[in-house]
């Protein structure tokens, strides 16, 4: 067991080093310390995924980006200049810019793949229920929906740069979802999940808003640092110097604030130049993060359209079976055709609407937030759209 835990820890460490190599390069380029010393100091300030000693720094640089950063740090240390590290940081920013350009292609792939798995396949199988035994149709529909959920997690992960992934929310935010089985006693599955996920969505909305507000606070702090090297002026009245090291400042903001802390405590002849460099890198990372979130939001628009179409299409099929069940021949087989009892389709249709909504909400959470745990934030509106479209289709759209 200890070996497994060590392997998992090693995997996490290497993953974090690879993830933050670009931001670390920006921090090192603006630090008053020598490059290798900066990485070791950042370790002491809370970045526990960095090596503890110079020897570990040389031996444990195994991932591609972090190894490249360590090599540039060695060269910069020998030459006494950090220009190459600055260029490396800019190179990683250009990689992010290129990912932004290709995101539109991923959005189109999103709509096509999930459209087939979450809409066309279940609808096709549902229409074939008059030819295929109902139990087999249930199996085929649920299989296609499970595949669509897996695709949401696997295909779309990594499309948003890991530097912009939101930290996981506290586990207790998901407690309302545990009451879904209880709600099932009096409500359909879709409505039960709609009610419980709406509570979690509200909690996640304010949590996410708070996380993003810390990015804005960090930007204001670094912006003030470009005009003064005095802690009281840079931090204002409410913050203390150690607050720059707080875990509230997550992601690239936390790393760049730690670099600012080194700059403020150590001082430097090039203080204002280095502070301005930190601000420039910060603004670029924030700009690209906002652009990714804006572009990824387009997937939510597509998702709402698709689940609405799904609800209407299933409603049309359901209405057709209602009409067929009212013909003079009793429900059952007519030659090679078997007309299903519409009541036997209720749960299957409800589960189809839920699974389609979940697959789209997972895809949106992975693409926009870089973290699938934010899926309840997008589930309620998707479920409401799907269920409303189905209800309107059954009750107000008559078959010609």
Is 314 or 139 the better-scoring residue by pLDDT?
Answer: 314
Scan for tokens 């530097």, then name that residue: 163
Q: Any alpha helices (H) in 30-133, and if so which ranges?
A: 35-44, 54-59, 64-79, 83-115, 121-127
Confidence bin at 326 (pLDDT 50/70/90): low
Instruction: Specify whether the CB–CB gap between 360 and 378 falls below 8 A.
Output: yes
Helix (H) or strand (E) holding 338: strand 337-338
Q: Is the pLDDT confidence value at 28 over 60?
A: yes
Q: Rounded distance, CA 110 to CA 363, Å?
A: 8
CA triple 186-190-195, angle to 5 deg: 70
Mean pLDDT within 263-276:
86
> Can you give the pLDDT at residue 111?
64
- Torsion angle (degrees, nearest 10) of CA 98, 103, 108, 112: 110
Residue-wise burial string across 11-50, b where 16 or more C-beta atoms lie within 10 A, e elsewhere:
eebbebbbbbbbbbbbbbbbbbbbbbbbbbbbbebebebb
Q: Is the pLDDT confidence value at 333 over 60?
A: no
Tell me the average pLDDT of the chain: 83
CA proximity to 129, closest of 309, 311, 339 = 339
Confidence bin at 290 (pLDDT 50/70/90): very high
Q: Is the pLDDT confidence value at 276 over 70?
A: yes
> Can you give the pLDDT at residue 162?
83
Q: How many C-beta atoms surround the C-beta of residue 220 within 10 A?
A: 11
Per-residue DSSP letters for 143-170? HHHHHHHHHHHHTSTTSS-GGGPPPPPP
Quick one: how many helices (H) and strands (E) in the chain? Answer: 14, 2
CA proximity to 365, closest of 156, 223, 87 = 156
For 100-142, write each residue's pLDDT tens digit. Answer: 777 767 666 666 666 666 666 666 666 666 666 666 766 776 7
Confidence bin at 309 (pLDDT 50/70/90): confident
Helix (H) or strand (E) holding 333: strand 333-334
For 344-374, write each residue's pLDDT tens digit. Answer: 677 778 888 888 888 889 888 988 898 999 9
């Amino acid at each position: 067991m200890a070996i497994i835990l060590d392997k998992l820890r090693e995997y996490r460490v290497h993953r974090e080093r690879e993830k933050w190599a670009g931001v670390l390069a920006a921090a090192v380029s603006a630090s008053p310390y020598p490059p290798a010393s900066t990485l070791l100091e950042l370790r002491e300030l809370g970045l526990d995924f960095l090596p503890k000693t110079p020897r570990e720094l040389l031996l444990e640089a195994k991932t591609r980006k972090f190894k490249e950063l360590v090599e540039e740090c060695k060269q910069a240390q020998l030459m006494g200049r950090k220009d190459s590290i600055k260029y490396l940081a800019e190179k990683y920013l250009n990689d992010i810019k290129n990912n932004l350009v290709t995101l539109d292609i991923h959005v189109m792939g999103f709509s096509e793949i999930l459209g087939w798995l979450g809409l066309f396949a279940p609808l096709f199988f549902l229409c074939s229920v008059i030819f295929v035994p109902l139990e087999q149709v249930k199996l085929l529909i649920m299989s296609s929906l499970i595949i669509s959920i897996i695709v949401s997690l696997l295909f779309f992960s990594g499309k948003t740069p890991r530097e912009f992934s939101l930290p996981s929310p506290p586990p207790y935010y998901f407690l309302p979802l545990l009451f879904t089985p209880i709600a099932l006693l009096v409500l359909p599955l879709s409505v039960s999940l709609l009610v419980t996920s709406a509570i979690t969505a509200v909690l996640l909305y304010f949590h996410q808003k708070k996380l993003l507000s810390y990015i804005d606070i960090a930007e204001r702090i670094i912006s003030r640092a470009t005009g003064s090297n005095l802690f009281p002026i840079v931090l204002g009245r409410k913050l203390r110097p150690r607050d720059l090291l707080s875990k509230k400042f997550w992601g690239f903001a936390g790393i760049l604030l730690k670099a600012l802390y080194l700059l403020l405590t150590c001082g430097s002849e090039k203080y204002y130049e280095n502070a301005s460099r930190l601000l420039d890198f910060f603004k670029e990372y924030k700009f690209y993060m906002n652009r990714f979130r804006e572009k990824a939001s387009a997937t939510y628009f597509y998702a709402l359209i698709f689940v609405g179409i799904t609800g209407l299409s299933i409603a049309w099929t359901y209405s057709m079976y209602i009409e067929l069940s009212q013909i003079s021949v009793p429900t059952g087989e007519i030659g090679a055709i078997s007309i299903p009892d519409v009541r036997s389709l209720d749960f299957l249709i409800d589960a189809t609407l839920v699974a389609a909504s979940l697959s789209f909400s997972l895809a949106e959470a992975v693409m926009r937030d870089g973290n699938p745990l934010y899926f309840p934030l997008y589930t309620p509106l998707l479920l409401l759209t799907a269920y409303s479209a189905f209800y309107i289709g059954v009750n107000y759209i008559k078959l010609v």
